[in-house]
Amino acid sequence: MAEHFQLGITRRQIIVRCIDRLIGCWVLALLAAFPAFAGSIGFSINFTGDDIAITSSGSEAAYQVSAWTLNVASQWQPISVLNGNTAYLPPGQGLNGRRAGAAADTALGRADPLLVLLRDQAGAPFTQLAWRQAPAAHRQPLPTQRSGARLSVAADGPQAQTIVASYALTVPYEGIKQLEQPLAASNAPPNPLRHVWRSGAPLLLDTGAGQAGVWLLHENANGALSVQVIPDGVVRGQEQVPTWLVGARRYVLHASAWLAALGALLLVGGWLVARRRSGAVGGGAGSQP
């Protein structure tokens, strides 16, 4: 009888070990599914006449910060920094600057965008955009298509009739490959490109090998503006992640759910087996004279 009781304990131990390993695999799968937490870089902007205050509101410091406004020729011109450190801007610190001149009296000039260029601690470039007069979101985005560094935007049918012209604002991004070279001083960003849809030709843009995002400012016949944001073609920060890992993350949550269900079934099965064998041991002991 003692041998029968020992056999039941051994099976229970095996089941418990299996459950522990399944739980461990489930936890590892969940850890692999979620990318590591990374800090953020952001700014709050305050416009007061020609004066501009930029405050770092993210959790990480920004480096080589420059801010640009449009001049009367609708070309980017850097603001004059009155105080603050543009080389290193930690969270909570700010820059105070002043624009060199007024923007042109055009639809784009009235929206008066502010372009902020910066680098993170690894040297990767980033671009952020703010508006003095923020346009509304465009309700029916124009279709886009990417082919490597080239981005094509089309306006077909009713959309081509309602939109007179579009302004494209983008800063090409060449990807993390450029970080192999010494960091160069920040260059002036490409000036906004105005595209008239009357020609019927698509809008073609060079966004760089890293497929940078684009802001499209659409102008209709009465001068009203609406903005369409085209996100980056490649998520920044995942360029160095192997392709197989990006694909695996799509399915690992499903696998973890199946592992959790299997672990629950084994737990219930182990409990039932242990209960049955405990009953058998008790019944056997009671039958002894």
Q: Is residue 142 over pLDDT 50?
A: yes
pLDDT at 281: 52
d(CA 144, CA 231): 11
pLDDT at 187: 81
Residues 6+ apart with CB under 8 A from 57: 42, 43, 44, 91
Q: Is residue 7 over pLDDT 60?
A: no
> Tokens at residue 256, please?
């973890």
Q: What is the largest CA-CA distance in the chain?
A: 108
Three-state DSSP at 201 gives: coil
> Tens digits of per-residue pLDDT, 26-68?
555 554 445 444 578 999 999 999 999 999 999 999 999 999 9
Percent with pLDDT over 90 in the chain: 47
Is 192 or 271 the better-scoring residue by pLDDT?
192
Task: List the single range of 5-9, 160-164, 199-203, 219-223 with lowest mean pLDDT.
Answer: 5-9
pLDDT at 38: 53
pLDDT at 278: 65
pLDDT at 156: 74
> Tens digits of per-residue pLDDT, 69-125?
999 999 999 999 999 999 999 999 999 999 988 999 988 999 999 999 999 888 888
pLDDT at 157: 64
Work out the pLDDT band at 25, boundaries 50, 70, 90: low
User: Which residues lie across from 167 on neighbouring strands?
Assistant: 194, 217
pLDDT at 24: 60
Dump the DSSP string for 124-166: -EEEEEEESSPPEEPSSPPPEEEETTEEEE---THHHHHEEEE
Work out the pLDDT band at 10, boundaries 50, 70, 90: low
**Interaxial angle between packed helices 243-286 and 2-33, expressed in degrees from 0 to 180 and rounded to the nearest 10:** 160
> Tokens at residue 247, please?
């694909």
Q: Which element (helix H / strand E) includes 191? A: none
pLDDT at 123: 84
Q: Quote the mean pLDDT of the chain.
A: 80
The residue with tokens 């008239």 is: 196
Q: Is residue 288 over pLDDT 60?
A: no
